[in-house]
Structure 1
Amino acid sequence: MTHESKPAAPDPNDFLGVDHGLNDEERSIRDAVRDFSTRELLPHVADWFEAGTIPEPRALAKNFGNMGLFGMHLHGYGCAGVNAVSYGLACRELEAVDSGLRSFVSVQGSLAMTAIHTYGSTEQKQEWLPRMAAGEAIGCFALTEPDSGSDAGAMRTRARRDGSDWVLNGAKMWITNGSIADVAVIWAGTDEGIRGFVVPTDTPGFSAHVIKRKLSLRASITSELVLEDVRLPDTARLPEARSLGAPLSCLNEARYGIVWGVAGAARSCYQAALDYAGARVQFGRPIAGFQLTQHKLAEMVVDVNHACLTALHIGRLKDSGACHRDHISFGKFANVAGSQRVASAARSIHGANGITLDYPVLRHLLNLETVATYEGTEEVHALSLGHSITGIPAFR
């Protein structure tokens, strides 16, 4: 009689073995980004968060460019051209350090570069994409306004024709990298509908002002953009962007990165809580030995693994061409909420220590408040899912 070997016990850090489903290239990218993030970013991110800025963003951009992280899912023009899962894994490993760092890469690649790559002219692509992929030029993406967030179609920024030129006036708000960008993709209303413009930030009339006093996403540079009679030639217009659907499609690419990224933030909080619970002794034994703490950890490991499974499955759908925008709404809706639960529980396990920057949990919890809002609020994605499953739109 032969005896089958017993299955190995689950790995607490990958309980369902989600990463066993990665191929060699995906695993290599995961490891490279994780190693870089742990070595070069993690030791500094608490200080950046406390300072409310990234001290040397251009040096960071060059490092990201050297690693091929900018526009890594795009093809040509110096972009890496990797699959969607590989891009997602990079987002996960960056956000395991901090949401602001994933946002830096996401805004550059999934928003600004994707807009130019998808809707730009050959000349625009050749001028900007190789430099942006290398981290030599920084881009931003300006859709949100002070009075127009979820209802992007209500934007007040206008572009009017003046002979062969366009003149832009208006303001944009909550723009990541806005004050350090070399180029801004600006969306504006025209007599012909919503149009996009590639705007060098040294254009007269363009100004950017850093938003201060943030309590979330502090290791990220966020700005207000002001456009006062910004005059552009028609060659600055994105020729293939002819409706609000263009910027929304770019946002969908960025949301996909969030689906993966927040799984990294949740993993970081869970691992910190697991380590802390094993080391923290109260009433004569580690708090990991108490039933209430184990219940919290059990809920956390479920949420983390659900988030990783959801991200990987949506990534495979995307790589096969079967990913609908509502799949990504599902991922953002589910994974952000699950990650918030994990971060909140991790903070409670850390007790008073959890409110300090000596541990990552409150920093992640605060960041996730912003991630839950940008690129589609929880409410918007809930309504997207509701429309998808009932066939009845409830937005208006």
Structure 2
Amino acid sequence: MELGPTELSHDYLDLDDLFTPDELAVRDRVRTFVDERIRPNIAGWYATATFPRELVKEMADLGLLGMHLSGYGGGGRSAVEYGLAMMELEAGDSGIRTFVSVQGSLAMSAIAKFGSEEQKQQWLPRMATGDLIGCFGLTEPSAGSDPASMATRAVRDGDGWVLTGTKRWIGLASIADVAIIWAGTDEGIRGFVVPTDTDGFTATPIEPKLSMRASIQCDITLDAVRLPTDAVLPGVRGLKGPFACLNEARYGIIWGAMGAARDSYETALRYALERRQFGTPIASFQLTQQKLVDMVLEIQKGVLVALQTGRLKDAGKLRPEQISFGKLNNVREAIAICRSARTILGGNGITLEHSPLRHADNLESVRTYEGTDEVHTLIMGRAITGIAAFGGA
């Protein structure tokens, strides 16, 4: 007797048994939110390149903003709980998950890790409630994978600082209230807390885009932005500061990519069971079954990678090269899954009625930001061989 589409269709290895009741409760709350608020609307938001600002307070009420940070309004949730939330959000859309990542893992994390007590008190509680939005300015037009070559400079001027330079691909910048800007100084690279209403700060959305259309990415111009002395983040100097924040965001991507992959697979499975050709559901054809099986293999393995990474993070044992393992593998496999799912949908798969091609397009951005495939490959290569292969000859 054939099983048909049972729970094995979605959790072949019974991976839910590896999670605690509290972890599953977090997942299910976010899944319900995605089903009710994102799925019915995402095609429209994507088509019109609209970021749904009305969701910000709703996500804050769910405890998603700074949910893995402790104190100052943070949720104090575990890394695994945070990861599960990111997986469910990205099953809705990568752009929505990116908002939570920029707000919590980048902007809030920078202040929480390296800010003064005054900075934490001033910004974090209202960022956790969604009353204030943050952004994180590291990448520049000519400094993406090589942030050490950034041209943005901050110079001391009397009792303060003056920032001059440009940043590119900065999520949320045009709607942000505060920006964490990384700049070169005579003391090395430093981070600065910059209210976005400061004279000389300009954020311009990058349009049109073929990816992340329900999200916002911007160019930032810093034209002699004058800041007080206490605008600098006192807790760090050098690239280890922004890299620590990037690793927080990269960790969330490991989970999020599997959400996009899972949603694409489930969409393709439903379609294959309903769509009939040559008098039979296309799910009955061997080639279609092979595609579905390959998707299940990689999704289940990817969730296991994410879970082990999360357990290591919660235990305080996670190394940067292990984050690179997960980011490289899970995003790469998720793109392949989304593209394969699109082929099962045939011509209908290029419409916004179905999610796989939208997910695949979004994941092209996810594949690039927070470290390209090439960068994470070289991070792993250095860990394996002990030889750094970054940079040209």
Classify the TM-score, shorter chain. Answer: over 0.9
User: Aligned to 1:364, which of 347, 351, 359?
Assistant: 359
User: Aligned to 1:340, which of 325, 335, 339?
Assistant: 335
User: Aligned to 1:114, which of 109, 113, 116?
Assistant: 109
With normalisation by structure 2, the TM-score equals 0.97
User: Aligned to 2:30, which of 33, 58, 73?
Assistant: 33
* 1:10 positional shift: 6.0
User: Aligned to 2:71, which of 70, 76, 83?
Assistant: 76
Separation of aligned partners in 1, 2:72 and 2:198? 24
User: Aligned to 1:224, which of 219, 222, 227?
Assistant: 219
How does 1:135-174 map onto structure 2 within 5 Å? 135-174=130-169
User: Aligned to 1:24, which of 21, 25, 33?
Assistant: 21
User: Aligned to 1:123, which of 118, 125, 128?
Assistant: 118
* 1:201 positional shift: 0.4
- Is the contact between residue 168 and residue 231 of structure 1 (CA under 8 Å) also seen in structure 2? yes
- Is the contact between residue 205 and residue 230 of structure 1 (CA under 8 Å) also seen in structure 2? yes
- Is the contact between residue 10 and residue 16 of structure 1 (CA under 8 Å) also seen in structure 2? no
Separation of aligned partners in 2, 1:300 and 1:272? 12
**Percent of aligned positions that are identical:** 57
Residue 12 of structure 2 aligns with which residue? 15
Partner-residue secondary structure (3-state), 2:189: strand
* 1:20 positional shift: 1.5
Unaligned runs of 5+ in 1: 1-8
How does 1:186-197 map onto structure 2 within 5 Å? 186-197=181-192
How does 1:87-102 map onto structure 2 within 5 Å? 87-102=82-97
With normalisation by structure 1, the TM-score equals 0.96
* 1:313 positional shift: 0.8
* 1:214 positional shift: 0.4
The AA in structure 1 aligned to 2:181 is: I
Residue 253 of structure 1 aligns with which residue? 248
Partner-residue secondary structure (3-state), 2:289: helix
Separation of aligned partners in 1, 2:253 and 2:361? 15
Separation of aligned partners in 1, 2:183 and 2:254? 28
The AA in structure 2 aligned to 1:182 is: D
Deviations 1:229-265 (A, max 9, x none): 1000011100012111100110000000000000100
- Is the contact between residue 79 and residue 130 of structure 1 (CA under 8 Å) also seen in structure 2? yes
* 1:16 positional shift: 1.1
Partner-residue secondary structure (3-state), 2:126: helix
Separation of aligned partners in 2, 1:18 and 1:153? 41
Partner-residue secondary structure (3-state), 1:184: strand
Separation of aligned partners in 2, 1:155 and 1:138? 24
Residue 66 of structure 1 aligns with which residue? 61
RMSD of Structure 2 on Structure 1 (CA): 0.8
Unaligned runs of 5+ in 2: 1-5
Separation of aligned partners in 2, 1:60 and 1:189? 35
Separation of aligned partners in 2, 1:364 and 1:382? 23
User: Aligned to 1:266, which of 252, 261, 264?
Assistant: 261
Separation of aligned partners in 2, 1:190 and 1:241? 13
Corresponding residue pairs, total: 386
1:68–1:10 CA distance, 2 compared to 1 (3 A): closer
Deviations 1:313-360 (A, max 9, x none): 110111111111111000001101110110010010000000000000
- Is the contact between residue 88 and residue 261 of structure 1 (CA under 8 Å) also seen in structure 2? yes
User: Aligned to 1:214, which of 209, 214, 224?
Assistant: 209
* 1:60 positional shift: 1.6
Partner-residue secondary structure (3-state), 1:179: helix
Separation of aligned partners in 1, 2:345 and 2:29? 30
